[in-house]
Chain A
Amino acid sequence: MTTASPDTLLCLEAVGKRFGGVRALSDISMSVERNRIVGVIGPNGAGKTTLFNLITGAYRADSGAIVFAGRQITDWPPHRIIRAGLARTFQNIRLFAGMTVWEHLLVTQQPKGNPLRSLVPLRWSNPAVAARAEQVLKFFGLEKYRDVLARTLPYGIQRKVDMARALASGPKLLLLDEPVAGMNHEEADELRKLLLRLNEEGLTILLIEHDMAFVMNLCHELYVLDFGVRIASGEPAAIRSDPVVLDAYLGSEAAC
């Protein structure tokens, strides 16, 4: 059982999930401290994406509790969890087919003030939304793609748009589902630098990743899952030499 300190942003207490007879996750406990970059690794089918879907409310946990920013979010619907300050990206990107890059950066923001203002043309009702979108657009260097339909862009750029969309909502915690999948080495390194900059500005990041080099060079702390069970956790250097991890994950990967 993890104990929640004031520095804990996200805390999972013995969270479990089964699909029919399959135990996707059993008794997972973990905590993400503020302003840290935490990675979740493990072989395919270890339950990493299920873990994300539980945290964001896409699935409901069968047992255990999830606490985010001091509040029990275990049974909340996704939109409520996201509004509490969490944002995610998708393994398969999932951009909106009819929207430009610019529109992706507007849609996830919650216009402030009277909810009726969301009925009025954005230009008149909420200039702050456009300002925020502009800021995120610049941060990711997406200015030249501003009015392009996002789905028509190259894969690497689409990944950035997915991340920018999540970031536009101004989250406290960013969840990244395999952010460098399909990227080449240079693109991955560029992304690593972007994430480090975001972290310096105070963003907490939780990510799932297969690319070991990327994870080792970026994360402050790692959790290792295998068959839905947490088999190890700690600093990257310790994980790298943990025999249990080597056997379950690195070992099996080296074998194939």
Chain B
Amino acid sequence: MSTYYAGLLADIGILTLGALSVYVILATNQLSLGNAGFMAIGSYLSSFLTVELHWPLTGAVVAAALSASIIGIVVGFPALRLKGIYLAIATLGFGEMVRSFFLVFSPTGGSGGYHGMQHVALGYIWIWTAGVLLMILLLERSHLWLQMRAVHDDETAAGLVGLNTTLIKVGAFGLGAAIAAVAGALFAHHHVYIEPGNFGFERSIDFVLAVILGGSTVGVGALAGAGLLVLLPEWLRVVADWRLAAFGALLIIVLLTRRQGILDRPLLARLSFRSAGT
């Protein structure tokens, strides 16, 4: 495989994880625009563990995910008081706060960035991506996921029919943060150099965009969205300088025609029915 395609595939794997991190939080009707912050935490923490403390990479990824999930839960509690656009703005503030922290935090290089990580193979990235995606697909068939969907549809009613909405919403933030941290750890060990600028607002927006484009009501939507988000600008190179404008136009067309994103439950049901029939 050429380095060019290997690079694109690595980007898709990492973006899929980032998109999934937004997806699980969005599944409880909370929009996070700050997941690049969790990604930064995972990125810096895992790099510090492998470079300075010589941890094995997998151990560092798991430790980063666990630490980020605790921070996610801490962020999730004040987020309970905010809804809709106010929550989105607050999470955006959180993301920028994390980025600025690493900008001035000298043990991890501050604005100069951090390096010294061992480069990981593409296969390793995709083992994580496939593993997390599979976990989400199984979770989608669980009772907990039904509870999350109930909170998504009508939080008040969900509470009044017996669901612990606080636990569900905060838990979603914890899980989302953990997945974003995994994405960050893999990103750091793929690029072997990180700087605070990698984890800006645009990164958080990319995650949200991948979910909205691919389908925000099904887990595989994150994969489809990430694939399109990485590949479309490449395929559109034929239109040269206009490719980003063309990409933007395509995005608007997709959202106008399919507000729920490209994939949704009825479409997946039809596809699986057809493949089962043949």
Contact = CB atoms under 8 A, between A and B. Distances in A.
A94 B154 contact: yes
A121 B142 contact: yes
B141 A123 contact: yes
A107 B145 CA distance: 9
B146 A107 contact: yes
Interface in A235-255: none
B143 A169 contact: no
Please classify how large the interface on chain B is, using the bins under 10, 10 to 19, 20 to 34, 35 or more. 20 to 34
A233 B268 CA distance: 56
B147 interface: yes
Contacts of A78: 159-160, 162
B161 A108 contact: yes
Given A111-B143, A125-B142, A96 B163 contact: no
A98 B143 contact: no
Given A96-B153, A98-B217, A99-B150, A122 B142 contact: yes
Interface in A107-124: 107-111, 117-123
B157 interface: yes
Interface in A10-31: none
Given A94-B154, A98-B152, A98-B153, A119 B162 contact: no
A94 B143 contact: no
Contact of B163 (A79, A126, A166): A79
Contacts of A109: 143
B54 to A, nearest CB: 33
A119 B139 contact: yes
Contacts of A87: 161-162
B162 A169 contact: yes
Contacts of B141: 121-123
B139 to A, nearest CB: 6
Nearest to B140: A121
Contacts of A119: 139, 142, 144
A106 B143 contact: yes
29 contacts: A58-B156, A77-B164, A79-B159, A82-B160, A82-B162, A83-B162, A90-B160, A94-B154, A94-B157, A97-B153, A98-B152, A99-B149, A103-B146, A107-B146, A107-B149, A107-B161, A108-B161, A108-B162, A110-B162, A111-B143, A118-B142, A118-B143, A118-B144, A118-B147, A120-B138, A121-B142, A122-B142, A123-B141, A129-B143
Given A107-B146, A122-B141, 14 more contacts: A56-B160, A58-B159, A77-B159, A79-B163, A87-B161, A90-B160, A98-B149, A98-B153, A103-B149, A106-B146, A107-B147, A118-B143, A120-B142, A166-B161
**A-B interface, 4 closest residue pairs, ranked by CB to CB distance from nearest:** A82-B162, A121-B141, A96-B153, A94-B157
Interface of A: 56, 58, 77-79, 82-83, 87-88, 90, 94, 96-99, 103, 106-111, 117-123, 125-126, 129, 165-166, 169
